[in-house]
Structure 1
Amino acid sequence: MNTANRPIRVVILSFEGISAFHLAVPNLVLHDAFVGIDNPFILDTLDLGALDTEVVNQPLTSRQIQLLAQAELIIAPSWPDVAQPAPEALLPQLRAAYSRGATLVGLCLGACVLAQTGLLDGRRATTHWGVAEAFAKRYPEVGLDPSPLYIDEGQLVTSAGIAAALDCCLHLVRTRVGGEVATHLSRIMVTAPYRFGGQQQYIPAPMPSRALPKTELSVVLDEVLAHLDASYTLDEVAKRCAMSRRSFTRHFKARMGTSFQQWLLSQRLHHSQKLLESTNGAIPQIAELSGFGCESVFRKHFKQAFSVSPTQWRATFSGQIVEL
């Protein structure tokens, strides 16, 4: 924490084509929102240019090197693509900044810049859920966790996509200037000082099942989906498909990519989400209609899956309400 009230120098990496929102978030949180209170952050922008082959291979200017050498926080607020290489001359400067104690921050796809330094190898990191699979393939040494809104690994901080950058930047303020200032800024920006849950809340739910030809299995699964409030055992469902338990288990995994138990849990959770969003049913009623049997079991599975309670989910996502 910045207990000595000394200036905190921040460098924000920009590039040609960066969205105004991505660039605005750190500027808003670390500068514009400081209304009526002293601001310890001093912001500079380092423009990397067009990021084409010629620019990527160019050396940094002496001014750019000086900015990076003085920075305590270096923020990559976005990046064009998971596969876009960073300027070759930038990466050793980022590693040098890290070695002298600077904190490197990758907001949204900005985590790709940190990954290219190699500093995230063996560390946890997050990024926008939409590129999580591509990120994991390109940077397999990084311990990618697409669930949290942000991850603080000390001198390496990464955030999920878009609006999660606000949460992450408020966290940077909280850890350097204090919670009181971070709360003040959140009021100025009319946003929550801390959001519960992770970005898995915002990942679209999967379709109930893969498209299957009309077989005994597909017919039975359609019946299960139509009556999720009923109880089902593996032996019972296998028998209805005219298979042995072992054969059904193998066949189901081959067709659906998961076990029957996990598939059923996923469908029940998806159904409960829709009920929370579109009805005024009480939580025990939704637990029963979704096939969880009792409220405590429902709450446990829901919190494990989405990191928020059913009540918090409803408060965030409820739309037009229908009475049950």
Structure 2
Amino acid sequence: MTAIDGLLPTVPLPTVPPSQTPAPRPQRIALLCFPGVRAFDVSVVTEVWGNDRTPRGVPPFELRRTATDPYTPLPLRGGLSLTPDRPLDWLDDLTPTDLVLVPGIEDPDADVPPRVLDALRRAHTAGIPVASLCAGAFVLARAGLLDGRRAVTHWHLADTLADRHPAVRVQPDALFVEDTGVWTSAGTAAGIDLCLHLVRTAHGAEAAAAIARAMVTAPFRAATQAQFIEHPTPRADRDADALADVRAYALAHLDEPHTVATLAARAGMSPRSFARHFQATTGTTPLHWLITQRVAAAQRLLERTDHPLPEVARRAGFGSEVTMRQHFASHLATSPRDYRNAFRHPAGSSPIAR
């Protein structure tokens, strides 16, 4: 083709109609299945990632049950069975935006198929996040993924994990722990906390809250909250009602300054007695509980609104953007600005917020 006056004919580029633009691939969740896994943990993972909640604004997920022998039912305790639907090689197609989950196991000393351990090592080497629930930490430890890392398991098994695997830095009290891409959780209900936190980390507080509402469970318990509460039942109904009223008041007035003394006065207790009853009831201190609630409130504001950061800090009760930034760094390992950029919905458009 010959140029005329220095110009070449313009050839329009093909365009893809918006309706034909391919949607992003859903996050893939690989649940490792092998003899001895706990039915409860399989059910938790299925409830969090195995239901279609896209009409409520939750992103789609692709949950697969992977095993050495797919399509062969595995017996579970209680007369149940689990049928895997993918081979272990499916993990080789995952990316660092996906997730590998190890459910709890009934017997920490039971053998684990070597191919399962190899698949875990390959996934971790590829930069894919790996998480275990309850005694699933023993599986990660056998794979060598917990050597030199902090980890947690059911409080009843913490000493056993430390004895069997001395290279693991066992944390006896936390609900869940993350160390360089490897997650572990304490027993039973703490597995729910970790699963919701993994959703929150990947998709924001709104998505996690929507799933929590569907499950009728708390959307947020801090990782550092004690997994074992010495006195889970308050000593008197009057104390329980007073503490519930105080927590409800604090949540409705997060933008106001609160101290242990002011909260105790509202409960009609001395500060020392109030702090003791609060920790016995919730497993955490009043101020730590208040900070985690303020972080959660700030997350919602950052996702749902266009308020400038100082206004978000004021409404969440942090007082200043600097203080909010410090707590985001310690609780979420990110900044408020980066969190908003990752998870913000257009103002008023979030289907979860409606």
Could you say whether these structures have the same fold, taking a TM-score greater than 0.5 normalized by the shorter chain as the test? yes
Asked if 1:44 corresponds to 2:64, the answer is yes
Q: Is the CA contact 1:25–1:166 (under 8 Å) kept in the aligned structure 2?
A: yes
Cα distance in structure 1, aligned partners of 2:220 and 2:166: 30
Q: Secondary structure at the match of 1:42?
A: strand
Q: What does residue 182 of structure 1 align with?
A: 208
| Displacement after TM superposition at 1:48 (Å) | 5.0
Q: What does residue 295 of structure 1 align with?
A: 271
**Aligned AA for 2:275?**
R
Select the residue among 96, 104, 117 that pairs with 1:91. Answer: 117
| Displacement after TM superposition at 1:6 (Å) | 3.1
Q: What does residue 49 of structure 2 align with?
A: 30
Select the residue among 234, 253, 256 that pairs with 1:276. Answer: 234
Residue identity (%): 37
Q: What does residue 148 of structure 1 align with?
A: 174
TM-score normalised according to structure 2 size: 0.55
CA 1:98 to 1:179, structure 2 compared with 1: closer, same or farther past 3 Å?
same
Aligned length: 224
| Displacement after TM superposition at 1:7 (Å) | 2.1
Q: What does residue 68 of structure 1 align with?
A: 91
Q: Is the CA contact 2:36–2:105 (under 8 Å) kept in the aligned structure 1?
A: no
Q: What does residue 8 of structure 1 align with?
A: 27
CA 1:299 to 1:140, structure 2 compared with 1: closer, same or farther past 3 Å?
same
- Spell out the pairing of 1:109-148 with structure 2 (5 A cutoff): 109-148=135-174
TM-score normalised according to structure 1 size: 0.59
Q: Is the CA contact 2:147–2:167 (under 8 Å) kept in the aligned structure 1?
A: yes
Q: Is the CA contact 1:13–1:48 (under 8 Å) kept in the aligned structure 2?
A: no
Q: Secondary structure at the match of 2:87?
A: helix
CA RMSD of aligned residues (A): 3.6
Q: What does residue 169 of structure 1 align with?
A: 195
CA 1:47 to 1:181, structure 2 compared with 1: closer, same or farther past 3 Å?
same
| Displacement after TM superposition at 1:93 (Å) | 2.3
Q: Is the CA contact 2:38–2:106 (under 8 Å) kept in the aligned structure 1?
A: no
| Displacement after TM superposition at 1:112 (Å) | 1.0
Q: Secondary structure at the match of 1:151?
A: strand
Cα distance in structure 1, aligned partners of 2:227 and 2:192: 17
CA 1:5 to 1:147, structure 2 compared with 1: closer, same or farther past 3 Å?
farther
Q: Is the CA contact 1:196–1:308 (under 8 Å) kept in the aligned structure 2?
A: no
Select the residue among 130, 134, 143 that pairs with 1:104. Answer: 130
Cα distance in structure 2, aligned partners of 1:39 and 1:9: 11
Asked if 1:307 corresponds to 2:284, the answer is yes
| Displacement after TM superposition at 1:301 (Å) | 10
Structure 2: segments with no counterpart, 5+ residues: 1-22, 75-85, 244-259, 261-268, 290-354
